[in-house]
Structure 1
Amino acid sequence: MEWKKYYLDVVLVPLGFLITIGYHVWLWHKVRTQPSSTIIGINTHGRRSWVPAMLKDIEKKNILAVQTLRNMIMGSTLMATTSILLSAGLAAVISSTYSVKKPLNDAIYGAHSEFMVALKYVTLLTIFLFSFFCHTLSIRFFNQVSILICTPQDVMSSSIVVTPQYLTELLEKEPF
């Protein structure tokens, strides 16, 4: 009798992990072997060609470069804010003793024991917090690129020159 309560958890959780891992292995292989057939490869190629194009005529394109990077920062900020708000809301539900928790617990599939419900909530909370940290890290890299893309490129002004390759590497570090 106890087996039926955990049946969905025993089947769906490993199946979900296998599908997710299988998809990411397939995507990794596709990006390595045929990058132009994936959106990741197309975006990488676009970023690699965007940085030298912006640096080529930076006096005319500096506003465009900074505005584009600002828009990317705003997108990452929106996603980071959304994930931290969902984390805060989920934390409030977890710590709640009110009747608001009852309908949410009924919506959870599988086992309903205290430990299993807490484990499901904590797993979801961990995923949201990981998403927040990834988006925050991407904001950091975008800020670095937006500052460095408009630095003077002539050798006479400084001993260290910011190269397009370095800027492209920084732009590709975004964890999306």
Structure 2
Amino acid sequence: MEWKRWYLDVILVPLALVMMLCYHIYLSFMVRTHPFSTLLGINSRGRRIWICSMIKENQKMNILAVQTLRNIVMGATLMATTCVLLCAGLAAVLSSTYSIKKPLNDAVFGAHGDFAITIKYLTILTIFIFSFFFHSLSIRFLNQVAILVNIPNLDTNPSSGCFSLTSEHVSEMFEKGIFLNTVGNRLFYTGFSLMLWIFGPILVFFCVMVMVLVLYNLDFVTSNNNKEKQRVVDCRRASSDLNS
């Protein structure tokens, strides 16, 4: 391996991955400390309120609860199936006797030898495998929530007897399922960006940089938007009413 062929891959690709990782660490910190400044924090409070309202009005809302959870499970299933298909395609390329690097030798910046191609495809394959893993775990939790949310009298004297189940437990399971689904989606986005690595590390760096900017605009509430401010206020009121 010559350094003049690998220096772009060694510098730009890890830098892009660190950029994505640092953004999500910052996002996680903001969700924990200032939840109402992020859409993830606002939606999390809203989901807890929704679970409690579905349990309280179980006789009237049971069909709505199951259909809503089914739609979320279908979305996670679609993403998991897509990851499996991409993994199968990448595995087929890796096991193929055809050398795909031949038509790309003159068009790719950075390393493009046999070892480089193997590293690229194995990295992308690993990302999609982990994305499938998190989506499958999310489906498991959401299926359990679909059962528990329809248990009658869930919060009636939960401390009596040997069986204790509260709406808070169901909310925690629901949040875990949504969290795993979100992690799977973000890994899928990262794997999609890394697929451009086949054509060189420069495209990966710029794609991740653009994706971080797009995700920032989608994940955070803008301070100068009156509608977003009103939604934050309404969510805070609903959360305080739920806690009281």
> Do these two structures clear the TM 0.5 threshold for a shared fold by scoring above it?
yes
Name the residue aligned to 1:43: 43
Q: Label 1:106 to 1:24 Cα distance change in 2 as closer, same or farther (>3 A).
A: farther
Name the residue aligned to 1:124: 124
Q: Label 1:106 to 1:34 Cα distance change in 2 as closer, same or farther (>3 A).
A: farther
Aligned pairs (5 A) from 1:57-68: 57-68=57-68
Name the residue aligned to 1:28: 28
Aligned pairs (5 A) from 1:88-127: 88-98=88-98, 102-103=102-103, 109-127=109-127
Aligned pair 1:166/2:169, yes or no?
yes
Deviates more, 1:52-61 or 1:13-22: 13-22
Structure 2 residue identity aligned to 1:146 = A
Residues in 2 aligned to 1:107 and 1:148: alpha-carbon distance in whole angstroms: 55
Q: Identity over the aligned pairs, expressed in percent?
A: 57
Structure 1 residue identity aligned to 2:31 = V
Asked whether the 8 Å contact 2:84–2:132 carries over to 1, the reply is yes
Q: Label 1:28 to 1:105 Cα distance change in 2 as closer, same or farther (>3 A).
A: farther
* CA deviation map 1:82-139 (0-9, x unaligned): 0110010111111112366644677764211222211111010000000001000000
Name the residue aligned to 2:210: none
Residues in 2 aligned to 1:46 and 1:94: alpha-carbon distance in whole angstroms: 45
Name the residue aligned to 1:5: 5
Q: Label 1:106 to 1:46 Cα distance change in 2 as closer, same or farther (>3 A).
A: farther
Residues in 2 aligned to 1:5 and 1:101: alpha-carbon distance in whole angstroms: 14
Using the TM superposition, give the Cα deviation of residue 25 of structure 1 relative to its aligned residue in structure 2, in angstroms. 2.2
Asked whether the 8 Å contact 1:151–1:162 carries over to 2, the reply is no
Residues in 2 aligned to 1:43 and 1:91: alpha-carbon distance in whole angstroms: 37
Q: Label 1:46 to 1:94 Cα distance change in 2 as closer, same or farther (>3 A).
A: same
Name the residue aligned to 1:86: 86
Residues in 1 aligned to 2:14 and 2:90: alpha-carbon distance in whole angstroms: 24
Name the residue aligned to 1:138: 138
Residues in 2 aligned to 1:53 and 1:18: alpha-carbon distance in whole angstroms: 40
Asked whether the 8 Å contact 1:77–1:139 carries over to 2, the reply is yes
In the superposition, the TM-score normalised over structure 1's length comes to 0.89
Residues in 2 aligned to 1:91 and 1:109: alpha-carbon distance in whole angstroms: 24
Residues in 1 aligned to 2:70 and 2:101: alpha-carbon distance in whole angstroms: 40
Contiguous gaps of at least 5 residues in structure 1: none
Equivalent position SS for 1:173: helix
Asked whether the 8 Å contact 1:54–1:61 carries over to 2, the reply is yes
Asked whether the 8 Å contact 1:51–1:167 carries over to 2, the reply is yes
Q: Label 1:48 to 1:104 Cα distance change in 2 as closer, same or farther (>3 A).
A: farther
In the superposition, the TM-score normalised over structure 2's length comes to 0.66
Asked whether the 8 Å contact 1:153–1:162 carries over to 2, the reply is no
Residues in 2 aligned to 1:104 and 1:65: alpha-carbon distance in whole angstroms: 51
Higher relative contact order (CA 8 A, sep 6+): 2
Asked whether the 8 Å contact 1:55–1:164 carries over to 2, the reply is yes
* CA deviation map 1:43-80 (0-9, x unaligned): 21111111101011100000000000000110000000
